[in-house]
Structure 1
Amino acid sequence: MSDELESLCGGLPPEICKQLVAEQQIIKIRLEKRKFNKEVTIIEGLDGYDDLRKIASMLKSKLATGGTAKDGRIELQGDHRYKVKQILINDLGIPSENIIMIVEEERE
């Protein structure tokens, strides 16, 4: 990974380089239906941020819901897509243009 960061950032210090890479990532927020029609909010693309579990913990606390961080993504119980987007923008400073909301039409 350090070779990859070096090629992207040249001679910048690693801390600044990691921040630049994180700011350029595209974050996807989507809703999944699971067993028994349960909804799960999935947040993907936060790989550039150091502690995914810490971010998941903060989101779970702010949204008063359960969830987990695994396989490079955060899963939250329930439909929290719009609230998650606002938290990522306001608390983590992620630009809104880097966040993609994937909204699928309901099929009945």
Structure 2
Amino acid sequence: MATLHILSHSPFSDSRMGSCLRLLGAGDGLLLSGDAVYALQPGSITRQALELMPDSVTLHALAEDLDARTLTDLPERLNAVDYPAFVALCCHYDKVNSWL
């Protein structure tokens, strides 16, 4: 059963991202929103972890949050989505897990 995991907190403030990455399975998706997009900063350990995820896990981020934090030089595998696409992702997966 494929799950969309949604992270919205900075990966540098607690261990949610690490816990989430350990639970990702084949066919799952990870959506970064809010301060979680800071995980994509070039040269960071979180960026490296995201780039090393298996290809069977899709990586998404809210485009509005990337723009608000002026993050550029993003991984090729990243799919930047708007809010309608975010809703479509939630409908695509069997389950949605928000890491509050």
TM-score, normalization by structure 2 = 0.30
Tell me the TM-score normalized by structure 1. 0.29
**Higher Cα Rg: structure 1 or 2?**
1
Which of structures 1 and 2 has the larger relative contact order (alpha carbons within 8 angstroms, sep 6+)? 2
